[in-house]
């Protein structure tokens, strides 16, 4: 397969189309506007439906309706838009419907700014929805990986009957890299939906019995059983969906922990440190929930400090510290507000942190 040079946002949209996405719902928000724009002209050509929602509130609920009735659904937004979608996402978890959500994140809080940020770490990994629910979160570090994860996310969402969230950022949405697009899988026609989704509301003529997709459970024992059922799924997902990449952990004195855009800066910082005779390594979580605790067991005996490296005020530190479990000192290198530190800044700050623990 030949590679094409595509802008991230357009590649993400194309990946969803090729995954068999039937419906896309979205509301304009920077820096992901190329996605609804691309979907508006390309999804109908593939037999799908594009609908510009009146708000993110409406978009996530449109997604619920389409998913409950058996369609493969993709929605995308950016940080404040995701905050608006949270109620719907919790509802969709409770009602057990598959939806793929892409967050091309920006700085915050509030309207914040539109430059790349990772200040949604807490929002995506802990939710903003109410109640006991979990949403698998996958954080790609490049356009090819994002395309592959979006494509696969539809299967994960179907398997667990739950939303799956892809956490990219504005830099990935706007940049271009060569990408190999996956094959088109086609859209399941409405009359065949119940073959793979017997629970979907398609009209009783199409399946045995009557299907109802619901969330309300007023009896505490019934609700508790339902939540326990959800957590059986989440326990399985927590085992199956752990993903990470690591480099140089055997030799590293400094171990960076970084995802997405920041992991790429760390990769360059590692080269620069190496040129100065300092060995550094990287743990790059791809799944942010479930968090790849196991990756930290690969850290070698030379490690002096583990550094969480983030585009926020240190939102991932809690997870890093839990995974480190007291074995090494933990430091933080961060910028926020949409500022991406240079690899040189990371090198200097890492050296200081290393000095501090020696």
Residues near other proteins (CB under 8 A) are 3, 5, 22-23, 25, 30-31, 49, 51, 53-55, 57-59, 61-71, 73, 87-88, 91, 95, 114-115, 170-171, 174-178, 190, 193, 201-206, 210-216, 264-265, 267-268, 271, 340, 342-344
CB of 342 to other proteins, least distance (A): 5
CB of 324 to other proteins, least distance (A): 24
Q: Which is nearer to other proteins, 63 or 330 (CB)?
A: 63
CB of 48 to other proteins, least distance (A): 8
3-state secondary structure of 104: strand
Q: Which is nearer to other proteins, 32 or 312 (CB)?
A: 32
**Can you tell me the distance from the alpha carbon of 140 to that of 105, in angstroms, rounded to the nearest whole number?**
12
CB of 270 to other proteins, least distance (A): 8
Q: Which is nearer to other proteins, 98 or 290 (CB)?
A: 98
3-state secondary structure of 249: coil
Q: Nearest to residue 101, comparing CAs of 34, 45, 50, 26? A: 26
Q: Which is nearer to other proteins, 191 or 235 (CB)?
A: 191
3-state secondary structure of 257: strand
Q: Which is nearer to other proteins, 214 or 326 (CB)?
A: 214
Q: Which is nearer to other proteins, 48 or 285 (CB)?
A: 48
CB of 194 to other proteins, least distance (A): 10
Beta bridge partners of 315: none
Q: Write the DSSP string, 303-351.
A: --EEEEEESSSSTTHHHHHHHHTTSS-EEEEE--TTPPPPHHHHHHHHH
Token pair in block for residue 34: 């190329």
Q: Which is nearer to other proteins, 61 or 125 (CB)?
A: 61
Report the sign of the C-alpha dihedral through residues 43, 47, 53, 59, in that order: negative
3-state secondary structure of 164: strand
CB of 325 to other proteins, least distance (A): 29
Q: Write the DSSP string, 188-204.
A: PPGGGHHHH-TTS-S-G
Nearest-Å Rg of the Cα atoms of the chain is: 21
**Can you tell me the distance from the alpha carbon of 11 to that of 29, in angstroms, rounded to the nearest whole number?**
18
CB of 285 to other proteins, least distance (A): 17
Residue 160, CB half-sphere, CA atoms under 13 Å: how many? 30
């Amino acid at each position: 397969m030949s590679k094409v040079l595509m802008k991230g946002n357009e590649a993400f949209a194309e990946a969803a189309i090729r995954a068999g996405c039937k419906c896309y719902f979205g509301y304009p928000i920077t820096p992901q506007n190329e996605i609804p724009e691309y979907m508006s002209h390309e999804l109908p050509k593939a037999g799908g439906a594009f609908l510009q929602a009146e708000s993110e509130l409406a978009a996530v609920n449109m997604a619920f309706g389409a998913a409950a009735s058996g369609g493969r659904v993709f929605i995308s937004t950016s940080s404040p838009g995701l905050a608006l979608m949270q109620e719907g996402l919790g509802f969709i978890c409770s009602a057990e419907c598959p939806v793929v959500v892409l967050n091309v994140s920006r700085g915050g809080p509030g309207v914040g700014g539109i430059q790349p940020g990772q200040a949604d770490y807490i929002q995506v990994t802990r939710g903003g929805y109410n109640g006991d629910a979990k949403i698998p979160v996958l954080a790609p570090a490049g356009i090819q990986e994002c395309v592959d994860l979006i494509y696969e996310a539809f299967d994960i969402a179907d398997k667990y009957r739950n939303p799956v969230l892809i956490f990219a950022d504005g830099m990935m949405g706007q940049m271009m890299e060569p990408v190999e697009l996956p094959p088109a899988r086609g859209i399941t026609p409405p009359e065949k939906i119940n073959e793979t989704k017997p629970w979907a509301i398609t009209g009783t003529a199409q399946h045995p019995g009557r299907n109802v997709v619901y969330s309300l459970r007023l009896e505490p024992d019934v609700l508790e059983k339902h939540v326990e059922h959800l957590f059986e799924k989440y326990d399985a997902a927590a085992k199956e969906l752990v993903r990470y990449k690591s480099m140089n952990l055997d030799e590293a004195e400094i171990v960076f922990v970084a995802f997405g855009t920041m992991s790429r800066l760390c990769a360059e910082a590692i080269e620069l440190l190496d040129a100065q005779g300092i060995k550094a390594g990287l743990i790059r979580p791809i799944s942010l929930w479930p968090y790849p605790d196991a990756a930290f067991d690969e850290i070698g005996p030379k490690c002096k400090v583990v550094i969480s490296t983030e585009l926020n005020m240190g939102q991932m530190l809690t997870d890093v510290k839990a995974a480190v479990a007291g074995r090494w000192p933990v430091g933080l290198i961060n910028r926020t507000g949409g500022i991406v530190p240079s690899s040189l800044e990371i090198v200097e700050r890492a050296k200081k942190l290393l000095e501090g623990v020696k």
